[in-house]
Amino acid sequence: MEPSNRGMTLVELLIALGVLAIGILAIGRLFPLSSSTQNQDRMATAGSDYAQQKVEYLQNVAWSDPEMADGRHPAGTATESLGNTGAWQRYYVVLTLPNPLDNLKRTIVTVNWTVGHLRAVNDTIYLRR
């Protein structure tokens, strides 16, 4: 006798659907993760841009200008809010280097933002008298 060609049984069909469902759920979990990562990268890129903007501005400020005085700018714990929502906070610190490099000022621009937890980017520039 020849075996009959009846097709798949119900058990085989349920197993195949279960494996397919697990695969689709695994792929579906990647989309929110990639969206979150993309948002973090966008925020970091914008933070770097804001730091670079301040560095370029400070390159053209006179050595004796109050904006180039030693210390934190703005003073204390204040920050400059950036972006439409104020999501990024920026400040910079100026330090005149000791002798024999006292003709140089080291300026560190810091931009902070929060996505999940506090993140920051720093940009350092040395300015000559």
What one-character-per-residue DSSP string does 10-25 give?
HHHHHHHHHHHHHHHH
Residue for token pair 């030693």:
70
End-to-end CA, the chain: 101
- Distance (Å, whole) CA 57 – CA 63: 13
Indicate the domain borders of the chain: 45-128
Q: Which option is the CATH number for 45-128: 3.10.20, 3.30.110, 3.30.1300, 3.40.1840?
A: 3.30.1300
pLDDT tens series, the chain, 129 aa: 556 666 778 888 889 999 999 888 888 776 666 677 788 888 999 999 999 999 999 999 998 999 999 999 999 999 999 988 888 999 999 999 998 988 999 999 999 998 878 899 999 999 988
Can you spell out the DSSP letters for 100-120? TSTTEEEEEEEEEEEESEEEE
pTM tops 0.85, yes or no? no
Runs of H (alpha helix) within 1-129: 10-28, 30-58
